[in-house]
Amino acid sequence: MLELLKPTAKVLLNSAIFVLPERARRLYKEHHELRYWRGVAATMRHNRSQQEHERAHYEHFFTAFFGLTKVDYAGKAVLDIGCGPCGSLEWATEARERVGLDPLADAYKKLVEDDRQQMTYRAATSENIPYPDGHFDVVSTLNSLDHVDDIDATIAEMKRVCAPKGRILVIVEIGHAPTPTEPHRLDESVVERFAPEFKPVQLDLAGTGEDHNLYRSLKHQVPYVKGQAGVIAMRLERV
C-alpha cells in the first residue's frame, strides 16, 4: 500500500510547489539540485579513483557515443551547460577553452575540492550566456535541458554562441511529467527547436530503465515506446 501512495504523494507535492511564488520555487529547485550533486560529489572528494571514473564517463558521452574522438576537441572552445561539479570537461585536455556553465557553479566548485580541475566554472543562466556570438566550437547540454527555466531562450542562446562550423550535443529526458527541478515535458519534437540553423547528424532514442539512469539506458539501448518516458540524444551541426 505504501508503494502505491508514494507516487501519488509525489504528484501532490509537486503540484503544491508549482503554485508557490517564483522565489520559493527557485529556492526549492536550488536546494534539491545541490542536494543531488552533494551526494555525487561526496563519493569523489579526496578520491582520485572515483574522480577518474566520473571523467571517463563524461569522456565517453562527449566522444565515442557521438562518433567523435578527443582529436575533434583539439584547439576548440567547449561550453557545457548544466555542468555539475564533477569535472565534465576535465578529460578534454587538448581543448583551447573549457567552460562549465550553471547558475550554481560557484557552489559546485566547493563540493569536490579537487585542485587539479582545469576547466572554468561560470555562474550564469543558460538563457543569458555571458559570451559573444560564435565563441564556442562545441556547445553541450547533457541531462540538463529540461532543468532550465526557459527552453526556447536557452536553445536560442546555444545557437548564438556556437561557432559558424560548430556543433551542439544534447542528451535530455523526454516524456516525463514536470517536476520542480525538471519543469518541462519534452518529446521527440525538441530536435525541431534547433532548426533551421542546426540539423541532426545523429539522433538516438531509448526508453528509461528501472533505475532511471539515462546514460545507462542509452548504453544498453533500452527500447523506446513512443509517448512514454525516454531519453533522446542528438548531435547537431550547423546547416
Q: What is the mean pLDDT of each run of 10 residues along the chain (239 residues)?
A: 44 55 78 87 84 92 97 98 94 97 90 79 97 98 95 98 97 91 92 97 94 92 93 96
d(CA 207, CA 174): 9
pTM value?
A: 0.90
Residue (of 99, 104, 94, 171) closest to 135 by Cα position: 99
The structural domains of the chain, ordered by start, are 2-238 (3.40.50.150)
CB atoms within 10 A of CB 203: 14
> What per-residue confidence (pLDDT) applies to 135?
98
> What per-residue confidence (pLDDT) applies to 15?
54
Residue (of 238, 161, 178) closest to 13 by Cα position: 178
